[in-house]
Each structure stands twice: as structure tokens, then as C-alpha cells.
Structure 1
Amino acid sequence: MDYGDKLFWLSVVIQRKYAQVCAEFDLTPSQATLLCAIRDEPRQMADLAASLGMTKNALSQLVDRIARRGLVVRAGSAQDRRVVMLSVTPEGKVLAEAVYAEVAKRLPEIARNLDADDQRAFERTATAIVDTTDLSAPPGPNRPTTP
């Protein structure tokens, strides 16, 4: 396997672990990602769609599903009536914080078979990748979407 293959399979391992955690909270990975993206502050729907690599229509359908569960609410912007803001409800905030904490606790398990030095190197590398990536930018032809 070449480097690209290994990164592909690392992505699969991470997505599988993430999906397991999400399922334990009765959420799809997309729902959990959305909740975690807005857990600290409301965001514009258009910006969220771009950041999450989704069409506005797909995001709207996702929001409809979790709004029915009472986890998010849409509201107009005070500055611009055309802008729709999305925020978590108190119940959604609790759930988002719980999911986020569990993911942060359990994702490092993917490196459990590495020795201590390799685990630290993996952490440094993952940190460098995240710190040098513009997570707010929409995916494009040369930008992969997030899992």
C-alpha cells in the first residue's frame, strides 16, 4: 500500500470510530457534526453548508430532521433578514457537548497499538495538520471534504 492508500484507510478507521460514537447517541455522523459545529455559537446556514461541504438543500434537510428532535432552531439574523442562523437548543447543546467529549476521548484509541513515542508523534502530526488547515473554507477540487 502506498501513502495515499494508508491515508484512505486511516480515514475509514476514523470514520468508523466516529460513527460508532454517534450511533450510541442516536445520531448520524452528519447530525453529530452539525451539532458540534454550532454547539458554541449560532452560525449562518450558508456558511455551515460551505464549511461542511454540503449543498444548502442537503443542509436544510439535515436541519429539518434534527429540528424535529428539538436539537436545533433556525432564526433570522438581526442584521439581515435574508440570513438564516442556526443554533442549538439547550437539549442540543447538552447532546453536542456529550458527543464531542466522547469522540475526543475515544478517537485516540485508534493509536492504542502504537508505542508511546509513536503515539506522541501521531498526536503532533495530527495537530500540525489541523492547525494548518482552514476548516472554515468550503471544500473545492483541491480540498477534501471532512469525514
Structure 2
Amino acid sequence: MDYGDKLFWLSVVIQRKYAQICAGFDLTPSQATLLCAVRNEPRRMADLAASLGMTKNALSQLVDRTARRELVGRASSEQDRRVVMLSATPTGKVLAEALYAEISKRLPEIASNLDADDQRDFARVATAVVDTSDLSSPPSNPPVTP
């Protein structure tokens, strides 16, 4: 397997573990990601779509499904009524905090078979990749709708 194959399979390992964690909270991975993204503060829907690599329509459908569970809510921005803000409801915030804590605890298990030095290297590299990634702009390729 080449480097691209390894990265592909790493993404599968991460997604599988993430899905297991989300299922324990009766959330789809998409709902969990959305909830974690707004757990600390309201976010603009357009910014969320870009950050999550989704079309605005796909995000709107995800928000509709998550809002039906009373975990998120939409509101117009106080500065610009045309801007739609998304935030966690009080119930959603409690669930998001518990979910995020579980993700932070269990997702690193994917590296548990590595020795201590490799685990530190993995954490360092993963941090560097995220820190140097622009998560605020849309992906260069057209987004894929789930």
C-alpha cells in the first residue's frame, strides 16, 4: 500500500471509531459533528457549510433533522437579519459536552497499539495537520452531500 492508501485506511479507522462513539449517544456522525461545531457558540450557517465541506442545502437538511430532536436552533443574526445563526439548545449543549468528552477520551484509542514515542509523534503530526488546515473555507473540489 502506498501513502495515499494508508491515509485512506486511516480515515476509515477514524470514521469507524467516531461512528461507534456517536451511536452510543444515538446520533449520526453528521449530527454529532454539527452539534460539536456549535457547542461553544453560535455559528453562521454559511460558515458551517464551508467548514464541514457541505452544500448549504445539505447542511440545512442536517440542521432540520437535528432541530427536530431539539438539539440545535436557528436564529437571525442581530447584526444582519439575512444571516442565519445556528446554536445548540440547552439540551443540545449538555449532550454535545458529554459527546465531546467521550470523543476526546476514546478517539485516541486508534493509536493505542503504538509505542509511547509513536503515540506522541502521531499526536504531534495530527495536531500540525489540523492547525495548518484551513477549515474556514470551502474545499477546493465541489462538496459531497451525504
Q: Which amino acid aligns with 1:41?
A: E
What is aligned with 1:106? 106
Question: Aligned equivalents of 1:5 and 1:112: distance in 2?
Answer: 21
Q: Which amino acid aligns with 2:78?
A: A
Question: Aligned equivalents of 1:68 and 1:53: distance in 2?
Answer: 23
Post-superposition, which runs of at least 4 consecutive aligned residues in structure 1 deviate over 3 A?
A: none
Displacement of 1:99: 0.9
RMSD over aligned Cα atoms:
1.5
What is aligned with 1:20? 20
Q: SS state of the match for residue 140, structure 1?
A: coil
TM-score, structure 2 normalization: 0.94
What is aligned with 1:75? 75
Displacement of 1:140: 1.3
Q: Say whether residues 1:136 and 2:136 are aligned partners.
A: yes
Question: Aligned equivalents of 2:61 and 2:5: distance in 1?
Answer: 33
Question: Aligned equivalents of 1:144 and 1:57: distance in 2?
Answer: 11
Question: Which whole-Å deviations, capped at 9, do the CAs of 1:65-96 have from their partners, x for residues lacking one?
Answer: 11111101110111111111110001000111
What is aligned with 1:61? 61
TM-score, structure 1 normalization: 0.93
Question: Aligned equivalents of 2:101 and 2:135: distance in 1?
Answer: 19
Question: Aligned equivalents of 2:46 and 2:10: distance in 1?
Answer: 30
Q: Which amino acid aligns with 1:125?
A: V
Q: Unaligned regions of 5+ residues in structure 1, if any?
A: none
Q: SS state of the match for residue 74, structure 1?
A: strand
Q: Unaligned regions of 5+ residues in structure 2, if any?
A: none
Change (3 A) 1:54 1:35: same
Question: Aligned equivalents of 1:122 and 1:108: distance in 2?
Answer: 10
Displacement of 1:37: 0.5
What is aligned with 1:119? 119
Alignment size in residue pairs: 144
Question: Aligned equivalents of 1:135 and 1:82: distance in 2?
Answer: 23
Displacement of 1:144: 9.0
Q: SS state of the match for residue 79, structure 1?
A: coil
What is aligned with 1:88? 88
Q: Which amino acid aligns with 1:59?
A: L
